[in-house]
Structure formats: structure tokens, C-alpha cells
Structure 1
Amino acid sequence: MKVLVVIPAYNEELTIGSVVALSMRYGDVLVVDDGSTDRTTQIAQAVGATVIRHEQNRGKAEALKRGFEYALSRDYDIVVTLDADGQHNPDEIPHLIEPIVKDEADLVIGSRYLNGSKKKIPLYRRLGLWVLNKGTKLATNIEVDSQSGFRAMNRKTLKTLNLDSNGYSIETDMIVKAKEINIRLKEVPITVRYDVPNKHKKNPISHGFSVLSDLVGLIGYKRPLLLFGMLSFLSFVVAGFLAYWGLEPYSKTGRVFLTQLIGAGIFTIIGIQLFIAGLTLNVLAKMVRE
């Protein structure tokens, strides 16, 4: 089978050479230079990779989609994606493509949670990943390492996934779309390094909130009753707290806090409206799917 390793890269001159060299042992290598201002392109070409360059930074999603288009146009059977910063070990590529070669899966995700390597993940990352993984499970009923960029997929997956996400939410988008079209998904264990030169291209907090906001939108689209039901429940909790606060002094003084009781009434109305909206959107979502 023809294998293409797609490596999205942005200002990775310190690591791109070794990542490309190791990856070339397992297939052709395409580096999508997403607007780097350093020598990423020159080093990748010198080592032997094919390079597609964006003149401006467009984000990881656009870089990967450009790589997928290239793979389809060149009739590759399997595409592997991995990060350019050295976090992933290219020598583990055979483990990712094996389930595809054996026709056991269409999309394979390298998981940090299957071999105990999650213990090496910094605490703040572990917390963020837990939130994003649970959010992905709410949207898809699939529990995987949803943010892992080390993946392999066959040509069928490339042709049928209609990816329309931006930035780093493309990893979650793949899982959502794969669930929709019954793509066979499997995880295999991988190791990840965090002592790499360029740890963060983007502030990890803003990155996490960006992905989370996209994920909340997906949950609202796929399972609106769940999302609006949760928001409705929170509104009722706030209403209950305000009602207790407003009525608590009545037994002692015979007086109540009118402002808090008005607030309780407002949040009760909001909770009812959110629940009705969730029911309505849930019916519409089912009609659209059918």
C-alpha cells in the first residue's frame, strides 16, 4: 500500500529535519508549511520531503486538508498525520497503519491513555484533555484521545470525511464525521514527549477554550436536548438558590428579600424556555437526520 505521511508545520526548523528523516522510513513525506517565517521549508526539502507552502498562516485544519487533497490526487492508500514538533515518534507509524492493513479499521488514533503515558502529561494539559475528551464523548458517544494528532486513515476515510472545521478542532471534527458515516475507528497506544523545543504555538488556555467552544457547538447541533437540558438544569439550580436566599429570613422576621425572589422567578422562566428549546431542536435534529 502507498503510504503518505502528512506533517503540518509552523516555525519548526529545530525539529522538522529529524521528524521528516524518521518518517521517510515508512512512506513518502509531505510537509505542509503553514506560513513559517523560519527555515522550515528549506530544511524539510533538504531532508527529502515534498513541501506545500502557505504564504500566510491558515491554521492546522487548513494545512491538514491541503495534505489530504494532495493524497487523494496522488492515489495514496493510507495517510498518516503527526506533529512536526517532535512530540510524536515516527517509529510508531507501523503500529498505526497495521489495523488498516489488516482491514480492522478505517481511522486509527494514537492514544496517550492506553499505555500509561498519560502520567507524563503536564497536569494542566491532563485537565484540559479530560474536559475535551468528555465533551467529545457527549457529542459522539465515543471515548477516545480526541485531541491526538497522531493518526492514520485509509483512502475511503479521506474521500468520505467532509471536514469543515478550522484550527485545532479538526481532530474532534474527524471523530464526529466518522461517527456519522460509520467509519471504523480504533485506538492504538503511543508515546508522547513534552520536552520539545517549541512546546506551544498558541497560548494553551486560549487554545483549549477555542476547541471547547467549537465542541459545545457540536454538542448543541448533534444532541441539543442534552446541551439545553444541562443549561436548563443550571438555571433551575440558580433559581432554587435565589428562592432559598429570598425566603430564608421569613421564619425569623416574617420578611422576604424581594430582589432575590424576582431573580428566582426570572431564572425559572429561563430554565423552562431552555428546556422547551432543547425539545424543539431535538425534534428538528432528528427530522434532519432522517
Structure 2
Amino acid sequence: AAARAAGYPGIVLQPEGCPRIDYERTLAAFAEDGFEMYAVPERAGTTPGTPHVLVAIPAYNAAGSIATVVSEAAEFANEVLVVDDGSRDATADRARAAGATVVVHPRNRGYGGALKTIFEVAHQKGAAHVVTIDADGQHDAGDIPRLVATQDDSGAGVVIASRYGTGTEMPFVRSIGLGVINLLTNVSMGRFRSRRRVRDTQSGFRAYTADAVETLVEADDIGDGMWASTDILYATSDAGFEFHEIGTTIRYDVENGSTEGAATHGFGLVHNIAGFFQRSHPILLVGVPGLMTLLIGSLLTAWAFQGTPSTPVVVVGTMAMALGVVMLTLSVLLHVLNTHPVFRQRSDR
């Protein structure tokens, strides 16, 4: 408002930690975007052929939107990579025409499969920052410089563009489901404190450092489905990388949205989180409920014998006690299988 009142034609914002500004591209973007925009960083000093910022887009049947997304992302990147995950339309051709480097999967491998290819290619290219963005146009490419600048400034291995706290209007059912998934994911990672919590665990708009990308290339437990976003958080968290989040606005009115239903997506995520719990916290997932079942069974049986024994209550109590013992034993066995060096070495072969 002060700039407008003073008669200036506009304002260019240089985020904290932003590299040298590419003024030519910044002015060109400014002329297109309007009164206010973030500066476009200059990528001087990188090895020829090595992108400083690689924007990567997993795409499946996105011919209607991919050219626009590539063009917008190219304003803030040294190179745009599109992984066409076995599309049946002209996604690959339109991405190439828009100037992207394109890798095509001969068959559909899923969102996680496309991301794994992205990390492999990015690692080969030696990109300093890899920014993933969706192909349907729901993400604001103008936030790419802020993601990169925040990563440079904070040193976080993963910077996430979060839809929370920015006025994003989320469908009610989706907001409830996403809230549950966020809670379960943070609990499974042991992130209970608010300052360590990841607010948007399912955002596909993220920036990764070269070290984080290398870790993800070497990870062998990232699935091919939509739940790969959670697997990536698990892998980077286990490797000791820090997370940081910035606010962004996500559009839900795009024409070419996700091809997977919300119910299917949600079930896959919950199943994936439960699997992670089983591998990493079997005592918590199985042992604690087993102990509670054993205690309830013991209390029922003791109560049944206070007066005249009640056969149904005794049977229920005995069965609960037996089930509790089985669950406790199973949790201990799973814990041993997951942590003992002998079994870990066998599983790594």
C-alpha cells in the first residue's frame, strides 16, 4: 500500500537467503504477474549441465494442464523434469513442447513410482534443490523461490508448502480425513510437540536438498502408491533430516484433479501408517492393546468369581486373557524381528 501511495509501479520481494537476483527474468515475470512478486534467483556458479533448482512433475493423463504447469514452473527453475507415468494421452508430447525434460514410464507405476524416478534422475543430474509440484495446476509455482530460499536459510532437508494457515478453502470431508491422516502420521513418527509436528503431511509441493534426494534414492521402503508422500517423510525423518513448512494456497477447483478417489486414498494411507507402526512400534501398536485386553479379561474373571460364578462372564474373561497374552507375545516377537541385528541383516539382503 505504501508503494502504491508513493506512485511506484510495483514491488519486487527478495526473500531472506535468496541468491543473486536474475533481473531480466524477474522484470519479465513482474510484467506478467502484476504489482507484487518474488524475485527470480540467478543460478550463476553451478557446473554446466548441473541444475541448481530442478522442478519435477509426476504426471498421469495430464495433457490438459501439463503445458501450463511446465511454463509456469520454468520461470523459477533451471530445468523442469516431467515423469509421464504411463499416460494414455498426449502428456509427454505437450510437456516436451513446453520445454520440459521428459521421462516416460512404459506402464503406470503409480505416484510413488513416478517420484522414485524423479529422485533417481535428480540425483544423476546433481541438482542442489529438487522441487516437486503436481501436474494438475493446483499448486502455485510462484512459491518455488520461497521454498528454495527457506531451504537455504533453514538448512532443512525437506521444505513443505502447507495448505494450512493460508486461507485455502478445503472441502469439509477432505479436511476431516486429512486431519486424521496428519495426526496419525505425526504420532507414528514420534512428533508430538507442536513445534516438531508436520502440519501438512500430504502436500506434494516440496523442496528437497541433494542429500535428502540421495537418501530417498537409497531407500527401499518407498511404495508406488499415493501414500509415498508418507513413506518419504518416514525415510527422511529416520535419516535425521529436519522439516520446515511455508504457507501456500492450493486450488481444489482444477479440472484434472487426482485420479484416485478420496476413500481409496485414505484407506491406503491408513494401511500404510499401520504397517509403519507394525515395523517400528510393535509394542505400541500390538503390545499395549494386548496388555489392556489382558487386564480387562482378568478383571472380568475376578468379578465373575465374587459370588456365584457366571459361566458366560468367565468364558469371555478367559478368552480376553488368552487374547491379551497372544498379543503381548506377538508384539515382543515383532519387536525382536525388527530390531535384532541378525534379522535386520537378513531383511537387508
Answering whether residue 170 of structure 2 is matched by residue 112 of structure 1, we say: no
* Match of residue 122 from structure 2: 71
* Match of residue 154 from structure 1: 209
Q: How far off its partner does 1:284 sit? A: 5.5
Q: Find the residue that maps to 2:259 and give its secondary structure.
A: coil
Q: How far off its partner does 1:35 sit? A: 0.9
Answering whether residue 262 of structure 2 is matched by residue 195 of structure 1, we say: no
Q: How far off its partner does 1:285 sit? A: 4.3
* Match of residue 271 from structure 2: 213
Q: Find the residue that maps to 1:208 and give its secondary structure.
A: helix
Answering whether residue 194 of structure 2 is matched by residue 139 of structure 1, we say: no
Higher RCO, 1 vs 2 (CA within 8 Å, ≥6 residues apart): 1
- Aligned residue type for 1:8: P
| 4+ residue segments displaced more than 6 Å | none
- Higher helix residue share: 1
Give TM-score scaled by structure 1 length.
0.86
Q: How far off its partner does 1:233 sit? A: 5.8
Alignment partner of 2:243 out of 185, 189, 210: 185
> How far apart are the structure 1 equivalents of 2:226 and 2:297?
37
Q: How far off its partner does 1:168 sit? A: 1.4
Q: Could you say what the CA RMSD is over the residues aligned between the two structures, in angstroms?
A: 2.6
> How far apart are the structure 2 equivalents of 1:42 and 1:86?
18
In structure 1, list runs of 5 or more residues that go unmatched: none
* Match of residue 31 from structure 1: 82
- Aligned residue type for 1:133: N
Q: Find the residue that maps to 1:65 and give its secondary structure.
A: helix
Q: Is residue 114–residue 188 contact of structure 1 (8 Å, CA) maintained in 2?
A: no
Q: How far off its partner does 1:260 sit? A: 5.5
> How far apart are the structure 2 equivalents of 1:282 and 1:255?
38
> How far apart are the structure 1 equivalents of 2:114 and 2:247?
25
Q: Find the residue that maps to 1:168 and give its secondary structure.
A: coil
Answering whether residue 55 of structure 2 is matched by residue 5 of structure 1, we say: yes
Q: How far off its partner does 1:56 sit? A: 1.1
* Match of residue 27 from structure 2: none
Q: Number of matched residues?
A: 280
> How far apart are the structure 1 equivalents of 2:201 and 2:291?
27
Q: For the structure 1 residues 166 and 255, does the alpha-carbon distance in structure 2 shift closer, same or farther, using more than 3 Å as the test?
A: same
- Name the larger-Rg structure: 2
> How far apart are the structure 1 equivalents of 2:208 and 2:64?
28
Q: How far off its partner does 1:17 sit? A: 1.5
Q: For the structure 1 residues 235 and 209, does the alpha-carbon distance in structure 2 shift closer, same or farther, using more than 3 Å as the test?
A: farther
Deviates more, 1:102-111 or 1:216-225: 102-111
> How far apart are the structure 1 equivalents of 2:126 and 2:258?
34
Q: Find the residue that maps to 1:167 and give its secondary structure.
A: coil
Answering whether residue 150 of structure 2 is matched by residue 92 of structure 1, we say: no
Q: How far off its partner does 1:82 sit? A: 1.0
